[in-house]
Amino acid sequence: MKQTAILFFAFLFILSPATNVGAQSAESIWLEASTLAYKTGETVIATVKAISATPIQGFTFQIRYDPSCLQPINAASPIQGMNGLYLPQTEGLVDASFASTTPQTANGVLAEVHFLALAGCQTNLTLESAGLAIRDASGFAAPLPGVAIDEKNIVLDIDNAAGESQVNPPLLGTPLSLGPTPSPTGSSNWGTSLLIVLVVVGGTVGVMFVFYKIWQSRSANIP
Amino acid sequence: MKYKNLPRIISLLALLLSFLPTSNADAQSEVPPADMFQLPWQQGEAWVALDGLDNGTKRPLNDSHNYANGGALDFTADQYVSVGDDTSNFWVTATAAGTVIVASSCHLNILHENGWISEYRNLGNIQVSLGDAVYRNQRLGIVHNNDGVQVCPGNKFPYPHLHFSLRPTVENVTFSGWLVNYSSTTNITTFSKNDQTIQTWSFQPILNVPDLQIALRDPIIPDTVYTGSLDAYRYERWPLTLTGNQEFTVTATATTSGLIPIVVLLDASGNEITRGTGSLTSTQPAGEYFVQIQPDSGQGFYDILLQGGTGGPTPTPTTDPSVPTSTPTTDPSVPTPTPTTDPSLPTPTPTTDPSVPTSTPTTDPSIPTSTPTTDPSVPTPTPTTDPSIPTSTPTTDPSVPTSTPTTDPSVPTSTSTTDPSVPTPTPTTDPSVPTSTPTTDPSVPTPTPTTDPSTPTSTPTTDPSIPTSTPTTNPSIPTATPTTDSDEPSTTIDTPGSVGVGETILVTINLNNVPPSGYTSAEFTCTYPPALVAISNILVTDLFGTDPAVAVLGPQSGNFIVAIAGSNGQRATTSGAVFSFNVTGLQAGQASITCVTRVSTGAGALIELDTVTAVITVGGTPAPSPTTDPGTASPILSGQVLATKPVTISLYDAGNALTTSVIANTDGTFGLTAPVGIYTVVATASGFLSAQGPAILTAGTTTTKGTISLLAGDIDGNNVIDQYDAMTIGMNYNTVSPDAADLNADGIINVLDLEDLAANYRASGALYWD
């Protein structure tokens, strides 16, 4: 019985990728999310996946979101050599494009997109458009024809309750910022701000401590 | 005992508070003006960049090269230099005026305007001390040759080099026109200027030729001494208000050896009224003026003093009243200057001493005010320099007013950094000889003028800078200056001597009698009459070896500067053509083209070589245009289209058939002719959204379209700038093809092209061209 069960699960395991592929078109892109329920302040992760028989040198996708519920953070591709192209963003639409100087196989995750859950809401993430790109004979990026967009919509449930303090999960690949134009000094400014806060708080505590000790010593001297 | 920890706590608090940001906060949020800083070596020289900024992959996070810390740059004058080599000429200079706030045996920090701090490490033979005020381009020290020592703590790279940083950040700051770009994603640092981009470790020469900086200073009031600083590419303008018809004297006294300042009086629009070397006296009606101080030669500090002009109330400032006028004696570009206290500098002439004849008689009405420095009747002001060093001023013909520099204050004068240690060529100009080609040996027969004197030249419009009395018949002014038979180094101009209106000729500049030791760099400051001729297509030869560093300013407003430096240690060691350019005739007349040549022998200074002039006769008869039928006087369509790539202008008729097309000039201007009719004019450039609009051409008229800028980014030409255009850049990153993806035309497809695209992302065309 035990061996039969093992064989059964092994058979399922072998078939599972093929079954998954069979669910999609020959060339297709779709949107996924492993978790659909989040709390406010947590990082929402959406995954753009694709299968393609033709090696690609680029892809692009646009995801519509509700800016009152979600704030895009960044995106990244785990495909080796596929680099994000920073382009201006518009509110309510993640517009991401990646390109590589060499053809790459695309079967699985194209990119991960991270959002910050801003407030309690039930909201949709919609893959508004997407495309795979090849490099034509003249060197120009050209859309790979016949690519279908399968699953376009994800419904997310964000609880109004604040989630636990969460470190932004690491991305697979170099992150592509989806915020305003990145400022190289931004991190140092942020660090400076944090330092100022620490200094002010520390200074206040220190001063209070000094006064407390003085008060304590004077109290002790009272006969 | 109860208080034993109190000092510790207070110390800790003080230490913590010391981390609070101070006045640098302002600087952090802004990029300094593009003309504020130069590169940290001598003007006119080319060095190479070694390492640039880092994102933590090559160096520790706390390293000064890390971009989060502001970044740092490593440079060297010679990529092949090794430990112990002679680096005594690798002079490091101040990137801007300021005050030395940190000085050690190997490094200096200089505080500049608005809190910017530049740092120079790995130095030897340091020339300044703590607290010294320094001017831009002042020598600070040399790059230490690292012989037997680790010059500065943290210097891990053994080869002699300059470690340079700017705080709060070096990123996105412009030095001599070179913008420092850094991508933390690719961890690549580049220097970009105009259409050239140089990456660190590429060993491409980076030429230190700043754009001209005209610094606006505080208004001056009488009997107050102010301090300023100059270099070859920095002038200073002081607003002056006169309340009545008053005589006044402005004196500029150099406090740095070698500097000879020129005082120029400008009207409120910046047009020159008069000038004098060292001082000027003038009487002008009430109004707003500027006093511009610029170097005749040398560089450094000066004191300016206004005397007289007090007939009315104290002049009110002409500039922004928010600019504080108090403490006028300090140079705001130098945070805490103490230039006159440096015992190494000669004590300046007391400017308030009435016994000093600072007011030179330049107001003699018989003297042309535009060229007072060349009139031998005008006493030369008391020189502050070693009188044994020949000055370079009398290089022009006193009888011939200089062509344009007196009217265009935006162009630097040609002489500045004469190094007393380098033998200066003997001035070859005899003031008594009224010729503008001083290098020509009078004993050598001058070539036959190319213009037949018997044939009257039609001169409907003449260059005001040239006498109208048939100057080409003056045998002292050859139209093509020949190579002299002297052994003296010299410059000559080869020109056919004449050009028709609408025609183009090639003019070549030659360096002659180049010494065997050669020149490391050369700079040519040239003037021409823009009303008569247009200059284009300036091309540098390989006289300075392959792939020299080249900087071209202009042509603009009758001036252009060509600076050339040999790369990788290459020099010009033979005589020959150094660069050429096209001259196109615009209107009939006599066009005088004058070039001042300065060269460097590698000793760390540019030496003025000579001044040469060629006169080109622009014919009075317009050259026939093959597209113009003189019988029907076809209308002309003109305009200007701006793009970093060549622009094609096409004219389509009502049936959408192509009638004609032209490629616009490098500055985007164009002119084409077509039969009378209604057309659609289309401007296209590879990688750009096109523009189009109507054009109605009527007989005998010129229709001018408005100037338009094409938008970069439509790489695949589908009339929209979209993701696929961006992906084309990504797929061809760091390559040269397809050409349409090289939006900034710098010869490589990279992040700079992506930035150009991103600026116009989602735009669609064609743009409407009114």
CB A84 within 8 A of CB A97: yes
- Which residue among A174, A191, A210 sits closest to B9, beta carbon to beta carbon? A210
Mean pLDDT lowest for which of B42-46, B414-418, B534-538?
B414-418
The answer to the question of residue A20 being in a domain is no
Containing structural domain, residue A199: 186-223
Q: What is the ipTM of this complex?
A: 0.72
CA angle B743, B752, B728 (to 5 degrees): 60
- Examine the domain organization and report whether A52 and A149 are in the same domain: yes
* Residue of chain A with shortest Cα separation from B760: A88
Residue-wise burial string across B311-345, b where 16 or more C-beta atoms lie within 10 A, e elsewhere = eeeebebbbeeeeeeeebebbbbbbebebeebeeb
Closest CA to B11 of A213, A203, A200: A203
Residues of A in contact with B69 (CB under 8 A): 188
Q: Does A87 touch chain B (CB under 8 A)?
A: yes
The answer to the question of residue A141 being in a domain is yes
Q: Is the pLDDT of residue B468 over 50?
A: no
Higher local confidence (pLDDT), B171 or B462: B171
The pLDDT value given to residue B333: 57
Higher local confidence (pLDDT), B159 or A116: A116
Q: Which of residues 346-375 of B touch A (CB under 8 A)?
A: none
Confidence band of A111 (pLDDT split at 50, 70, 90): very high
- Examine the domain organization and report whether A177 and A197 are in the same domain: no
Confidence band of B83 (pLDDT split at 50, 70, 90): confident
- Examine the domain organization and report whether A47 and A118 are in the same domain: yes
β-sheet with B647-652: strand ranges across: B658-663, B647-652, B677-685, B691-697, B767-768
Distance between CA B770 and CA B767 in Å, rounded? Answer: 9
Please state whether the peptide bond connecting residue A10 to the residue before it is cis, i.e. omega within 30 degrees of 0.
Answer: no
For the residues B585-592, what does the mean pLDDT come to? 85
The pLDDT value given to residue B542: 86
Q: Is the pLDDT of residue B32 over 80?
A: yes
CA angle A115, A121, A126 (to 5 degrees): 55
- Examine the domain organization and report whether A209 and A109 are in the same domain: no
Domain regions of chain B by residue span: 24-201, 213-374, 471-622, 632-770
Rounded to whole angstroms, what are the CA distances from A125 to A73, A109, A113, B464?
A: 14, 17, 11, 72
Closest CA to B664 of B646, B651, B679: B646
pLDDT tens for B724-768 read 999 999 999 989 899 999 999 999 998 889 999 999 998 988 888
**Cβ within 8 Å, pair B726-A199:** no
Q: Does B169 touch chain A (CB under 8 A)?
A: yes
Return the DSSP state at B374: G
Task: Name the strand (E) or helix (H) holding B662.
Answer: strand B658-663
- Examine the domain organization and report whether A141 and A190 are in the same domain: no
Is domain B471-622 classified as CATH 3.10.290.10? no
Contacts of residue A19, Cβ cutoff 8 Å, sequence gap at least 6:
none
Higher local confidence (pLDDT), B334 or B737: B737
Residue-wise burial string across A127-160, b where 16 or more C-beta atoms lie within 10 A, e elsewhere = bbbbbbbbbeeebbbbbbeebebbebebebebee
Confidence band of A166 (pLDDT split at 50, 70, 90): low
Higher local confidence (pLDDT), B230 or B347: B230
- The domain tally of chain A equals 2
Same fold, B213-374 and B632-770: no
CB B208 within 8 A of CB B176: yes
- Which residue among A100, A202, A213 sits closest to B16, beta carbon to beta carbon? A202
Contacts of residue B83, Cβ cutoff 8 Å, sequence gap at least 6:
B145, B146, B147, B158, B159, B160
For the residues A172-195, what does the mean pLDDT come to? 57
For the residues B618-637, what does the mean pLDDT come to? 55
The answer to the question of residue A211 being in a domain is yes
Q: Is the pLDDT of residue A130 over 90?
A: yes
Q: Is the pLDDT of residue A220 over 90?
A: no
Mean pLDDT lowest for which of A120-134, B93-107, B229-243, B623-637?
B623-637
- Examine the domain organization and report whether A79 and A54 are in the same domain: yes
- Examine the domain organization and report whether A78 and A29 are in the same domain: yes
**Cβ within 8 Å, pair B16-A199:** yes
Q: Is the pLDDT of residue B303 over 50?
A: yes
- Examine the domain organization and report whether A106 and A206 are in the same domain: no
Mean pLDDT lowest for which of A50-54, A215-219, B168-172?
A215-219
Q: Which residue has the tokens 């005397």?
A: B307
Q: What is the CATH number of the domain that holds A55?
A: 2.60.40.680
Q: Is the dihedral of CA B548, B552, B558, B559 positive or negative?
A: negative
Confidence band of A3 (pLDDT split at 50, 70, 90): low
- Examine the domain organization and report whether A178 and A202 are in the same domain: no
Pairing relation of β-strands B162-167 and B72-76? antiparallel
Confidence band of A148 (pLDDT split at 50, 70, 90): very high
Distance between CA B509 and CA B552 in Å, rounded? Answer: 14
Best to test chain B binding among A60, A90, A97 (most B CBs inside 10 Å):
A97
Q: Which of residues 36-75 of A touch B (CB under 8 A)?
A: 57-58, 60
Q: What is the 3-state secondary structure (H, E, C) of B357-369?
A: CCCCCCCCCCCCC
β-sheet bridge partners, residue B100: B110
Residue B257 neighbours by CB distance under 10 Å = 14
Distance between CA B584 and CA B618 in Å, rounded? Answer: 9
Q: Is the pLDDT of residue B461 over 60?
A: no
Contacts of residue B396, Cβ cutoff 8 Å, sequence gap at least 6:
B371, B374, B402, B429, B436, B594, B611
The pLDDT value given to residue B766: 85
Q: Which of B45-49, B493-497, B713-717 has the highest mean pLDDT?
A: B713-717
Q: Is the pLDDT of residue B135 over 70?
A: yes
The pLDDT value given to residue B407: 32
In B85-161, at which residue ranges do the beta strands (DSSP E only) sit?
91-93, 98-103, 108-111, 117-121, 123-124, 133-134, 139-143
The answer to the question of residue A125 being in a domain is yes
For the residues B541-562, what does the mean pLDDT come to? 80
Rounded to whole angstroms, what are the CA distances from A21 to A10, A25, A33, B531, B681?
A: 18, 8, 18, 73, 53
pLDDT tens for B90-102 read 999 999 999 998 8
At B197 the three-state DSSP class reads: strand
- Examine the domain organization and report whether A127 and A209 are in the same domain: no
Q: What percent of chain B is modeled with pLDDT above 90?
A: 29
β-sheet with B260-267: strand ranges across: B213-216, B234-242, B287-297, B260-267, B272-277
User: Top-level CATH class of B213-374?
Assistant: mainly beta
Q: Is the pLDDT of residue B242 over 50?
A: yes
The pLDDT value given to residue B455: 33
* Residue of chain A with shortest Cα separation from B723: A97
- From A151's Cα to the closest Cα of chain B, the distance in A is 22
Confidence band of A162 (pLDDT split at 50, 70, 90): confident
* Residue of chain A with shortest Cα separation from B181: A184
The pLDDT value given to residue B556: 73
- From A52's Cα to the closest Cα of chain B, the distance in A is 18
Best to test chain A binding among B715, B731, B751 (most A CBs inside 10 Å):
B731
- Mean of per-residue pLDDT scores for chain A: 79
Q: Is the pLDDT of residue B45 over 50?
A: yes
Mean pLDDT lowest for which of A14-28, A205-219, B274-288?
A14-28
The answer to the question of residue A214 being in a domain is yes
Q: Does B741 touch chain A (CB under 8 A)?
A: yes
Q: Is the pLDDT of residue B628 over 90?
A: no
Higher local confidence (pLDDT), B9 or B133: B133
CB B672 within 8 A of CB B695: no
Q: What percent of chain A is modeled with pLDDT above 70?
A: 73
Residues of B in contact with A204 (CB under 8 A): none
- Mean of per-residue pLDDT scores for chain B: 73
Q: Is the pLDDT of residue B25 over 80?
A: no
CB A97 within 8 A of CB A60: yes
Q: Is the pLDDT of residue B464 over 70?
A: no
- Which residue among B19, B734, B738 sits closest to A195, beta carbon to beta carbon? B19
β-sheet with B174-175: strand ranges across: B174-175, B178-183, B188-193, B196-199
The pLDDT value given to residue A204: 82
The answer to the question of residue A6 being in a domain is no
Distance between CA A100 and CA A76 in Å, rounded? Answer: 13
β-sheet bridge partners, residue B596: B525, B611
Return the DSSP state at B11: H
Is domain B632-770 classified as CATH 2.60.40.4130? yes
Residues of B in contact with A103 (CB under 8 A): none
Pairing relation of β-strands B117-121 and B108-111? antiparallel
Mean pLDDT lowest for which of A181-190, B527-536, B637-646?
A181-190
For the residues B335-361, what does the mean pLDDT come to? 33
The answer to the question of residue A70 being in a domain is yes
Confidence band of B137 (pLDDT split at 50, 70, 90): very high
Largest CA distance in chain A: 97
Distance between CA B382 and CA A127 in Å, rounded? Answer: 79
Mean pLDDT lowest for which of B38-52, B183-197, B307-321?
B307-321
Mean pLDDT lowest for which of A211-220, B203-212, B273-282?
A211-220
Q: Which residue has the tokens 């033709």?
A: A54
Residues of A in contact with B16 (CB under 8 A): 199, 202-203, 206
Return the DSSP state at B149: S
The pLDDT value given to residue B244: 80
Distance between CA B41 and CA B137 in Å, rounded? Answer: 7
Q: Is the pLDDT of residue B334 over 60?
A: no
The pLDDT value given to residue B406: 33
Q: Is the pLDDT of residue B72 over 90?
A: yes
Q: Is the pLDDT of residue B434 over 80?
A: no
The answer to the question of residue A14 being in a domain is no
Q: Which of A179-183, B230-234, B547-551 has the highest mean pLDDT?
A: B230-234
CATH superfamily ID and name for B24-201: Glucose Permease (Domain IIA) (2.70.70.10)
- Which residue among B12, B182, B727 sits closest to A133, beta carbon to beta carbon? B727
